[in-house]
Amino acid sequence: MSSRYYITTPIYYVTDAPHIGHLYTTVAADIMSHYQKMLGKEVWFLTGTDEHGQKIQKKAKETGETPQALADRVVKKYIETWKSYGVEYNDFIRTTEERHKKVVQAYIKKLMDSGDIYLSSYQGLYCIPCEAYCTETQAVDGKCPDCHRSVETLREESYFFKMAKYVQPLLKHIETHPNFILPESRKNEVLGFLKGEVRDISISRTTIDWGIPMPADPKATKSHKVYVWFDALTNYVSALGPLDKDEKFEKFWPEAIHVVGKDILRFHAVYWPTFLMALGLPLPKQIIAHGWLTDSNRKISKSLGNAIDPVALAQKVGVDGMRFFLFKEFVFGLDGEYTEAIMYQRINADLANDFGNCISRVTNMIPKYMGNDPILVTSYLNEISELKTLASEVVIQAHKEMETFSFHKSLENIWKLISGVNRYVENNAPWTLAKSSDPKDKRKLEEVLIHCHESLRIASLFLVPFIPKSAKQALSYLGTDSDLSVPAPLVTQLTWGQGPKSITVTKSSPLFPRLEMPKA
């Protein structure tokens, strides 16, 4: 198993501020970045913005800005939003940066020299929102097969990439690497496309001004700009500095994992791998395609006019509330219907009632019944209990679910432990044991409380990637937050008895006050 981990989000169009769909993808990558660091891996996390193409040019004209001014303005909104959600990326790539442009042009030139890019002309159906051609067969009732919006007939001189040449090698790679595309349903979609009619694709545009110029060619009669998807996809490599022999490229590219929405899967799982094959570069390790967040069964997106502002949501329910809701409520890989009512119910039930209340009960009982001085816990934790067994079982399963991005199942396992603590408290009634004068009951009381404490320590530590601020606050109340400064891997501390040998517990304030849903 590699000691390195490279995870990417798609780069987002700068036509407007980020919405909840962008948040979903970005926080997913952030959770995995934090989790892999806990496992002791060296992690590189990349996100950024896609700033070229017809869509950007059109939007800039509407707003009365230059495309660059539009990009500069909107990029600030992305950076501010990710900061407000605690997203800790290593690099933010912009396709208007020189470091990116020079890689795109170098790769285009290499493919032109090898003959994998050639000059011809094209007429076909074109979707401006997706910036992609489609065939008559693929278009349904004159609409794009990906976004279901109207397409138009376009004819232009164009450079083409020999994608058909690499279909069989790509099929072989997918067959020999069963986890290359996840989930399985998305892999089957890609296989279906590859086994159909795959043609060479147009790799340049003459109808736009806002893009990276194609290398000079005396055979061309018009000025060509690089097709926006070749431009955009190259960011995953250009950010690692391959032309400058940056050590990041050698270290991280073989471990690349792309997290994308299902609507751009074909570009990532067909176009991108064939580009890389033609360039002689290794393919990414894995492509993870998640479903859409929907509103009344429609994809939530800027173009459909139903975008939801993640900053406004965080003001209502908190950053950690949103981070938790998105990955406890929705199955990563499937579509999920977003409603405000379900969001409030999920946060109140799981975070306020279960986790927050459990932390509060235990951190208030320990000082009350065991005093405020540091407590040596080793002898208590050597004892067998149902919580000790449960903690071991759920952590093993939670780790297993994280391997396949099954965030909701991983959280379900951690909630089994939290629920187990609440049940253990009720069954053992510490308040009754505290009234007894029998030394055995006093020992039992202390053992119950310390086993509850250890279970919550493990649960809180596992939750740090999901709800970082709140989980760290819980660990602080439990008197175990100092462990977070210990060099990785933190994963060893997710084992029973591997926390601090001495604890000082602080009475806690509510981690998650109960939320009241605003009246319509």
Res 307: pLDDT? 78
Res 68: pLDDT? 97
* Secondary structure class of 167 (helix, strand, coil): helix
- The pTM (predicted TM-score) of the whole model is 0.92
Predicted confidence band at 492 (pLDDT cuts at 50, 70, 90)? confident
Predicted confidence band at 486 (pLDDT cuts at 50, 70, 90)? low
Q: Which residues contact 39 (CB under 8 A, 6 or more apart)?
A: 488, 489, 491
Average pLDDT of the chain is 92
Res 420: pLDDT? 98
Task: Please report which helix (H) or strand (E) contains residue 431, including its range.
Answer: helix 430-433
Res 416: pLDDT? 98
Res 147: pLDDT? 76
Res 508: pLDDT? 86
Predicted confidence band at 145 (pLDDT cuts at 50, 70, 90)? confident
Mean pLDDT, residues 248-258: 96
Q: Which residues contact 53 (CB under 8 A, 6 or more apart)?
A: 131, 208, 210, 211, 228, 231
DSSP H helical ranges for 85-194: 98-114, 167-176, 184-194
CB 243 within 8 A of CB 102: yes
CB atoms within 10 A of CB 333: 20
CB 464 within 8 A of CB 484: yes
Round to whole Å and give the CA distance between 365 and 514. 21
Res 264: pLDDT? 95
On the question of pLDDT at 520 being above 70, the answer is: no
DSSP, res 479: T
Structural domains in the chain, CATH included, are 4-329 (3.40.50.620), 340-503 (1.10.730.10)
Round to whole Å and give the CA distance between 190 and 411. 29
DSSP H helix total and E strand total for the chain:
21, 17
Res 483: pLDDT? 64
On the question of pLDDT at 303 being above 90, the answer is: no
pLDDT tens track for 192-203 = 999 998 999 999
